[in-house]
Amino acid sequence: MAEISILTESELRQCVRLTKEVTDVIAAAFARLAQGGVVMPPVLSMELPQVNGEVDVKTAYVPGMDNFAIKVSPGFFNNPLKGLPSLNGLMVALSAETGIVSAVLLDNGYLTDIRTAAAGGVAARFMAPQRVETAGMIGTGLQARLQAQALLLERNVEHLLVWGRDAARARQYADEQTQVLGIPVSVADSAEALVKASQVVITTTPAKEPVIDADWLHPGLHITAMGCDSPEKNEIDPRVLVQADLVAVDRVSQSLERGEMRTAVKAGLIDADSILPELPAISAGLVPGRHSEEQITLCDLTGTGVQDTAIADLALRIARQKGLGTLIES
């Protein structure tokens, strides 16, 4: 008989919010990944075309953490027609010593949202120019909101531009985020205008064709591309991967399979055995990040199991302190 803690989304929201401390936790987890000892198998991916769905399972074992998480992320894209969110899921926490289930985190994808945004924060920390007058957000969904918050924890952005295919949603984003972020947010005339005016651009779309053209690059630009996380997606003109001064990814194997490297390999612009620097190695100080304000940099994020284990570990520690969760004997 083991005692298992069941935590609901509302309880987990009381434990973890997007703060600089959470970005620190994700940066530290990335550093651990680079330093060795972490076991992170390839993503288990299941495509379900018959229901317009997909499921990804991610995990990583991080020595020294009490638990490791196995994260189940379903995306069922007909759900909005039924009034339900597309993305859902949970995390299972297993004891790092015994493998016994210690907790089930019924977060409906909330912790994934937070750890994804925090990885954007880490990318900004090490790769954005120090001075960011204008930042640009491409996309108008939940990650467009969270990534802006994560960026503002790292840089004193003065003005945010937004662009999305749906002008009404972009307008709504601008109005709402001007209040939320406390800086002016305005709608850009085009993705091109947004990129040209910004020192940091974040792409948060499910695009299958590039939303950023290599011709728009300019000195001192950093791009974080976090939307592309499956083999049919692509946000960045593959020429950016060869034209930028520094291109980093969260995990080379994943970027090759499901990130922006995939398209660049397909276009014949980079080799399939290319070893790009990884954000984890940059976080660990093993590889340099940006080293001048003039560099053009790109960071491609596909989402890694080590982020899931780190955020689950954090949430469980805080939940225990707060006495949250329902204990089940099994």
Q: Footprint of its own copies on this chain (CB under 8 A)?
A: 2, 4, 6, 8-10, 37, 39, 41-48, 50-51, 53, 55, 57, 59, 61, 63, 70, 72, 74-76, 79, 82, 84, 88-90, 92, 94, 96-101, 104, 106-108, 326, 328-330
**Least spacing, CB of residue 252 vs its own copies, in Å:** 19
Write down the least CB distance from residue 51 to its own copies, Å.
7
Q: Encoding tokens for residue 54? A: 């997909």
The residues, any chain, with a CB within 8 Å of residue 128's CB and separated by 6 or more, are 151, 154, 155, 199, 200, 222, 290, 297
- Other beta carbons within 10 angstroms of residue 149's beta carbon come to 18
In whole angstroms, give the CA distance from residue 245 to residue 290.
9
When the beta carbons of 104 and 301 are compared against its own copies, the nearer one is: 104
Q: How far is the CB of 214 from its own copies (least distance, A)?
A: 35
Query: In whole angstroms, how close is the CB of 64 to its own copies at the nearest point?
Result: 11
Looking at the chain, how many residues does it have? Answer: 330
For residue 278, which of 253, 315, 260 has the smallest C-alpha distance?
253
For residues 329 and 37, the answer to whether their CB atoms sit within 8 Å is no
Tell me which residue of 126, 211, 127, 208 sits closest to 162, measured CA to CA.
211
- Ramachandran assignment for 35, one of left (phi > 0), alpha (psi -120 to 50 degrees), beta (any other): alpha
Tell me how far apart the alpha carbons of residues 254 and 252 are, in angstroms, rounded to a whole number.
5
* Cβ nearer to its own copies, comparing 36 with 268: 36
Closer by beta carbon to its own copies, 6 or else 269:
6
∠ CA 180-183-189, nearest 5°, is 100
Tokens 């990814």, located at residue? 249
Tell me how far, at minimum, the Cβ of 15 lies from its own copies, in Å. 14
Nearest distance in Å: CB 312, its own copies: 13
**Which three-class secondary structure state does DSSP give residue 266?**
helix
Is 141 exposed, middle or buried (CB count within 10 Å of its CB: 0-12, 13-18, 19+)?
Answer: middle
Nearer to its own copies, 29 or 225 (CB): 29
Smallest distance from the beta carbon of 6 to its own copies, in angstroms? 6
What is the nearest approach in angstroms of its own copies to the Cβ of residue 197? 39
- Count of C-beta atoms within a 10 Å radius of residue 188: 23
| CA count, 13 A, side-chain hemisphere, 1 | 3
* Nearer to its own copies among residue 111 and residue 247 (C-beta): 111
Nearer Cβ to its own copies (273/329): 329
Report the C-alpha gap between 32 and 29 in whole angstroms. Answer: 5
For tokens 């039924």, what's the residue?
Answer: 82
Q: Which is nearer to its own copies, 43 or 247 (CB)?
A: 43
Q: Which is nearer to its own copies, 61 or 163 (CB)?
A: 61
In the complex, least distance from residue 39 CB atom to its own copies, rounded to whole angstroms: 6
By beta-carbon proximity to its own copies, the closer residue of 34 and 188 is 34
